[in-house]
Amino acid sequence: CTHYPLLKRAIRKFMGRAVRLVDSAEETAKEVESLLRRASIVRKNGKGVHSFFVTDAPERFIKVGFVYVRSDKGDPVTVSAVLALADGTVFRGQSIGAKGNTTGEVVFNTALTGYQEILTDPSYARQIVTLTYPHIGNTGATPEDLESSQIYAAGLIVRDVPPLSSSWRAAEALNEFLERGRVVAISGIDTRKLTRILREKGAQAGCIMTGEHVDEAAAVKAAGKFPGLKGMDLAKVVSAKRTYQWNEGSVWQDAKRPPIRSAQRLHVVAYDFGVKRNILRLFADHGCRVTVVPAQTNASEVLALALDGGR
């Protein structure tokens, strides 16, 4: 494995002892952890990246370095990735999500927060989303912030992903969320340059490919084969497959929800053409009983539900 000299210096400073880093990732982790057990926090993610936080006082923690290890097969922890646009523009970076390839319409979003909501927004189906804010993933991922039951974005492009997320609400890291959702993503590219291209030329067909030996020409060719969104009936893709009841209100406990009296509850039927959960939550917050129906539901079926209102 490789390591930063700063790690050794920090251990020597705070523990008064030197540390020897060995080739075996497991032995490295055990050796360093035993040295820092009394005065540090040791975290390890699922990819074999050990992150060490050293402190000389409980209230002061200093990130001193990382130990990047290789798998038993010798594969590097970080996997290369490329983003290719149909016009031939290629960006090189690192894979931060699922392995493989993805194609779609490359667009950008300028929001500073809400990356989970963006990724799970059905309106981003078949689109590869570029987030212009440079640091994405700081707060990890939580099931409370989903706008649908799955990630609909075809891919994700970011400038930088912090090695560790920090939030009391986080259930997992962003890269773990992407891997579990089978979403191909890339980081470490110049998102400002990409955004200028999209701003001046409009949305572009693109392809993200991951792997140690990515064929850039093949990525450009794959991007060029993307047919575009024009004419796609995406409502059929993102719509619910069956009718269901929605009862969940806003996540936050201090949401100002009016008192609900069963005799006064309005029955609202919402057509799902890609509805976001927050819209349904707001209906529930206002005391509505919500029934969600698929996009192909005909009017007679809706009227038979005895609704008080429709959307």
Q: Give pLDDT tens digits for 211-220.
A: 888 999 999 9
What are φ and ψ of residue 299, in 5° steps? Answer: -60, -40
Instruction: List pLDDT tens digits, range 69-93.
Output: 333 444 445 789 999 999 999 999 9
Tokens of 55: 């402190």
Q: In this predicted structure, what is the pLDDT of residue 165? A: 82
| pLDDT tens track for 150-178 | 999 999 999 999 878 888 888 999 999 99
pTM of the model: 0.72
pLDDT for res 254: 57
Check whether domain 80-233 has CATH 3.30.1360.170, yes or no:
no
Per the prediction, the chain carries an average pLDDT of 79
Q: Which of 160, 143, 163 is nearest to 151 (CA)?
A: 143
- Residue 212: per-residue pLDDT: 83
Pairwise CA distance, residues 84 & 207, whole Å: 5
No. of H helices and E strands in the chain? 9, 15
- What are the backbone dihedrals phi and psi of residue 142, each rounded to the nearest 5 degrees, phi first? -140, 140
Half-sphere exposure of 308 (CA within 13 A, CB side): 11
State whether the Cα torsion 71-76-77-81 is positive or negative: negative
In this structure, are residues 189 and 159 in contact, taking their beta carbons and an 8 Å threshold? Answer: yes
How many other CB atoms sit within 10 Å of the CB of residue 178? 25
Residues of the chain with CATH 3.50.30.20: 80-233
Can you say whether the dihedral through the CA atoms of 193, 195, 196, 198 is positive or negative?
positive
Provide the b/e sequence for 221-231 (b: ≥16 CB within 10 Å): ebbbebeeeee
Instruction: List the structure tokens of 93.
Output: 């970076």
